[in-house]
Amino acid sequence: MKQFTLVILLVLGTSTYVFPHTAADGDPTESKSFTVSPGGNLELSLNSGDIRIATWEKNEVSVRISNYEDDDHDAVRMTQQGNTIHITDRDSWGEGGRFDISIPSRFNLDLQTSNGDIIIRGKLTGNITGQTSAGNIRFDDVDGLVDAHTSGGDVKTGKITGKATLATSGGEIDVASSTSELELRSSGGDLKVGNVGKSLHAKTAGGDIIIGDVGGEAVVSTAGGNVRVGKVTGEASLSTAGGDVELKGGNGNIRAATSGGNVILTNLSGSVDARTSGGDIYAELVPSGKGKSRLATAAGTIDLRVPENAKATINARIRIRGSWRDQRDEYSINSDFKAVSSSRNKDDDEISAKYVLNGGGEEITLDTVNSDIEIRKLNK
């Protein structure tokens, strides 16, 4: 069996270890340890290979390389410079291997691989930068900033307490929770998040979006799925081109839009703009004087619930279109409140009514086509 070569260079406090190795050597594993202090850095850049990180309470970075193949007989190069560990095999064109690395629980990570998974186990106090072109990214709780991207896999995390950006071009993103700002992007998967402490920006081109409560602004969009969000403290913009939109609470400016589903809004006290081209709208709204609200659908029922003591002016309209004109008498505006005016204009094919609640106030417009409108008292 060949003995691996260990080259140690001590230049200005820098130690370099070079491991030329191939699978043909018969020894599929190499290992090395470095003495470090908490709060240091691991910088790992691979042409190919899986990265598996585990945290421990030792002041040591331990590296174990298994099943590493290097067709050009190039070396994995490991360098320690102060409290930073550098590992690279950028010159390698082999199939890569598996890098199992243990680090102090308080450490920073900069991880890159062109073909492999990135997995981090144990709670980490530090920042993470991670990128892979063809693998999954998974890590547990992180107390720090996170920037992680994959072009061909899923992203799954525990609780994140720092600002985070997570992106994938071909998978799902699942975050247990976040206490800070969070940005999610996917070109083809679902987005799932627990509660978010501050602002949320989430976008996918092909999946559902399911979010807990959001403590700031929420901008959420998908081109092909449902959107379900808990209570949003700040402004909210929720949209989908092919599913339902559901919001369980909000007190800012709310925008909800879908081209092919229902809109369900509950426990709202802000301004609302809700639109759908092919579904029903249900909204519970407590007018707060923050602005006008509008609920509009091109082919569905509108069901608005407001408190009995609300100060609001409600304008409701049903437009009759197409072959349904002869059935205009089947459509109606039904309300628990007394209308100050109402009309059925057969010439203009329109049914309308106006309600002034408790002297009037915030304007709420309801507009639908070939469907009913319900205006009911909200019982809390």
Please give the Cα distance from 241 to 189 (Å, whole number): 15
- Given this model, what pLDDT does residue 349 score? 85
What's this model's pTM, rounded to 2 decimal places?
0.89
Residue with tokens 């379900």: 228
C-alpha–C-alpha distance, residues 372 and 125, integer Å: 56
Distance from C-alpha of 234 to C-alpha of 214, rounded to nearest angstrom: 8
> Residue 14's pLDDT is what?
56
| Cβ neighbours for 151, distance < 8 A, ≥ 6 positions apart | 132, 133, 134, 168, 169, 170
Report how far residue 254's alpha carbon sits from residue 293's, in angstroms, rounded to the nearest whole number.
9
Element (H, E) at 52: strand 49-56
Distance CA 30, CA 142 (A): 29
Asked if 207 contacts 223 with a C-beta cutoff of 8 angstroms, the reply is no
pLDDT at 89: 84
**Euclidean distance between CA atoms 277 and 241, whole angstroms:** 10
Measured between alpha carbons, how far is 15 from 82 in angstroms, rounded to an integer? Answer: 9
pLDDT in the model for residue 1: 36
Q: Residue 379: its pLDDT value, please?
A: 86
Show me where the domains of the chain are located.
1-147
Cα angle 229, 291, 284; round to 5: 45
Q: Which residue blocks in the chain are alpha helix, DSSP H?
A: none
Q: How far apart are CA 336 and CA 282, in angstroms?
A: 16
Residue 57: what pLDDT?
97
Q: What is the pLDDT of residue 11?
A: 35
Separation between Cα atoms, residue 305 and residue 289, nearest integer Å: 16
Beta bridge partners of 109: 42, 128
Running along the chain, 380 residues long, what does each successive block of 10 average in pLDDT?
A: 35 52 51 97 93 98 84 72 92 72 98 95 98 96 98 96 96 98 95 98 95 98 96 97 96 94 96 95 91 95 97 96 62 96 81 96 96 93
Query: What's the pLDDT at 115?
Result: 87
Amino acid letter, residue 293: S
- Residues linked to residue 314 through DSSP beta bridges, in sequence order: 355, 364
pLDDT of residue 7: 34
- pLDDT value at position 16? 60
